[in-house]
Structure 1
């Protein structure tokens, strides 16, 4: 009798696990939890699954999302490439996008990325001019002349234009939003929360991995 009960309990446990696994693979629906782009946007490396976060330094939601997405990105497997791409719908957003790519060009993004977020969202210093951003960069060892040269450079101009073109291709409706492999757009509106965004992205990454096998 005890063996029979144990077998029944074990069977029920296995059925429960199977049901949960099935729910995990069917819980996210296209058109409800994420959107398939009409036209896929080319990724940088076709050999990797690209996840792009479209953000704006002046977006309070992006500011609060940053620690979460940063921690998440550090645990990604080697076949996934995480990139950030600034959105720009007006002059100030373009200036902030230039700050991002200037920091990358000068190899100081790891030093100034969070301080830019904090200056705008905590200190209420909106960094609306190149001079204001140069002053911030100077605190982290970048000479103002070096900053301005990079800020106006052809390389930064090109990256800003490419980011703007990508955002248009992604049909971005707000920030932050995430794009998986240039095919799917995920937002808090579709996923329900910032944590939900990452869960949907993880699901889509696995779907892309499966389809490539």
Structure 2
């Protein structure tokens, strides 16, 4: 009898668990709908933005989850990374990222920069230290230093700062879908769940076209 009761309880718990897992996402729970939507960079495409900081351990851990997801995104989705800059080392690393993007080498060295900070203990707190490290990955030192201090990079930094303010972020990693919906790992319930929220919001925006 006890076994029957226990079995029934386990089945009920399993069904309840599946029901919770299948529950649709809601504004105010898993994500926030922005009062003032932010224009996307490529009109006609569904935009997903990840705001991050190279020094953030949660962002580093999220890499192994989000990178495979990025690779399988359909053609109508445009994924963008934006560095969050709250001052100090955040801004220094933000300028590093924008420089790498400007040089079109971000895809090749992004993961290595994360690993250098979190696995090798490098601070990458000065342009010179960055240049020395990046040279080991095949990035020309002089070109990096010249680009790091360029007008184009500084202009992009100001744009990125304004976007972060418009998204009203308070921490990282944070995801924004189509300039309308903001959420993070905590609100979504975990790294994998965050991407499930992103998928559902992408589908929502696709259906609204």
After superposition, what is the alpha-carbon deviation per residue over 1:4-29, rounded to whole angstroms, capped at 9, x for unaligned?
Answer: xxxxxxxxxxxxxxxx99x85x5201
| TM-score, normalisation: structure 1 | 0.86
2-structure distance, mates of 1:120, 1:141: 18
Provide the residue aligned with 2:3 in structure 1: none
Greater alpha carbon shift after TM alignment, 138-147 vs 55-64:
138-147
Provide the residue aligned with 1:69 in structure 2: 66
Greater alpha carbon shift after TM alignment, 28-37 vs 97-106:
97-106
The 5-angstrom pairing of residues 20-99 of structure 1 reads 24=22, 27-99=24-96
- Equivalent of 2:113 in 93, 116, 129: 116
| TM-score, normalisation: structure 2 | 0.87
Provide the residue aligned with 1:139 in structure 2: 136
Provide the residue aligned with 1:166 in structure 2: 163
2-structure distance, mates of 1:178, 1:59: 15
- Residue 91 of structure 1: how far off its partner (Å): 2.1
**Considering only aligned residues, what root-mean-square deviation do their CA atoms show, in Å?**
1.7
- Residue 152 of structure 1: how far off its partner (Å): 0.6
- Residue 67 of structure 1: how far off its partner (Å): 1.9
Provide the residue aligned with 2:103 in structure 1: 106
The 5-angstrom pairing of residues 178-193 of structure 1 reads 178-193=175-190
2-structure distance, mates of 1:158, 1:38: 27
Q: Segments of 4+ in structure 1 off by > 3 A?
A: none
Report the 3-state secondary structure (helix = DSSP H, G, I; strand = E; otherwise coil) of the residue aligned with 1:77. Answer: coil
Structure label with greater radius of gyration:
1
- Residue 173 of structure 1: how far off its partner (Å): 1.7
Report the 3-state secondary structure (helix = DSSP H, G, I; strand = E; otherwise coil) of the residue aligned with 1:85. Answer: strand
- Residue 75 of structure 1: how far off its partner (Å): 0.7
Report the 3-state secondary structure (helix = DSSP H, G, I; strand = E; otherwise coil) of the residue aligned with 1:53. Answer: strand
- Equivalent of 1:130 in 127, 131, 152: 127
Unaligned residue ranges in structure 1 (runs of 5+): 1-19
